[in-house]
Amino acid sequence: MNDAGGIAAIEWRPSDAPVPYEEAVVAMERRAAAIREAGAPELVWLLEHPPLYTAGTSAQPADLLDPHRLPVFQSGRGGQYTYHGPGQRVAYVLLDLNRPDLGTSRRDVRCHVWRLEEWMIRTLAQFGIAGERRAGRIGVWVAGNGGAEAKIAAVGVRVRRWVTYHGVALNVDPDLDAFGGIVPCGLAGYGVTSLAALGIAATMAEVDIALRATFGEVFAAAPICGT
C-alpha cells in the first residue's frame, strides 16, 4: 500500500482460468520488482492452479510420497510440500513492508504471516467456521469430521527487499485425495479438509467476496501481531 492510497490503492486481480505455476511465479517476481523499484500498486491475485505439488525452501525429499503422481515445482516460498489444484483459492499477496503506516510491524515477516493467518480466520468466520492457529504449525486449522484437527489453509511467503509475494491457499472444494501424494507441510499425522468437506457449499465467487471484505480489517492498520 503506497502512502497515497493505502488499502484502496491495492489492485485486486481474480483469474477465472487456472494459471500455470511457473507463469504465476514469473508474474509475481516481475510485479514485486515493479512495486519495489517503480512504485507500482500492490496486488492481491486470486487464482487457481492446475493440479501440482510445490516444494518450499524447507521441503524434505522423504515427504514427497508419490513423485510421479503430479508435476512437482521447486518454489522460493517458505515452508515444505503442498498441493495446489482446482477448487483451492490461492491468494498471492504482494505488499511493501517498508510502508510507514505499518508502525512497529514494519519489516516484520512474522507479523505478515500472522496477518495472513488472521485473514483466513476471519474469512472462514464469514461461513460460520472457527479457524484457529496451532503453536509450531503455520497455517489455519479446524475441527474436521469426527473432531480431529485438520488443516484448511496453508501459508507460504517470500520476501525480497521487503516486498512480499506468494501467500495463502484456502481449500474450498479441492480434490483432498491429492494431498495423499505428499506429507502436507511436513506435518505427518494430521488431516486436510475444505469448506465443502465441512458441509459449506460456497462458490469461489462467494469466497472471493469474503476475502475482500475481511482483508481491510487485517491489513489496513498496524495491529499488535500475535494478540
Catalytic center residues: 185
The Cβ of residue 68 has, within 10 Å, a number of other Cβ atoms equal to: 8
Q: Where are the beta strands (DSSP E) in the chain?
A: 11-14, 43-47, 52-55, 72-74, 81-84, 88-94, 132-134, 137-143, 149-160, 163-171, 191-192
Please state, in angstroms and rounded to a whole number, the distance separating the CA atoms of residues 214 and 125. 10
Output DSSP code: residue 182.
B
Q: Report which of 128, 116, 115 is spatially closest to residue 206, judged by C-alpha positions.
A: 128
Q: Sign of torsion, CA 98 119 94 35?
A: negative
Report d(CA 95, CA 112) in Å as an integer.
9
Residues 6+ apart with CB under 8 A from 206: none
Single out the residue of 184, 181, 200 nearest to residue 192, CA to CA.
184
Distance CA 114, CA 81 (A): 20
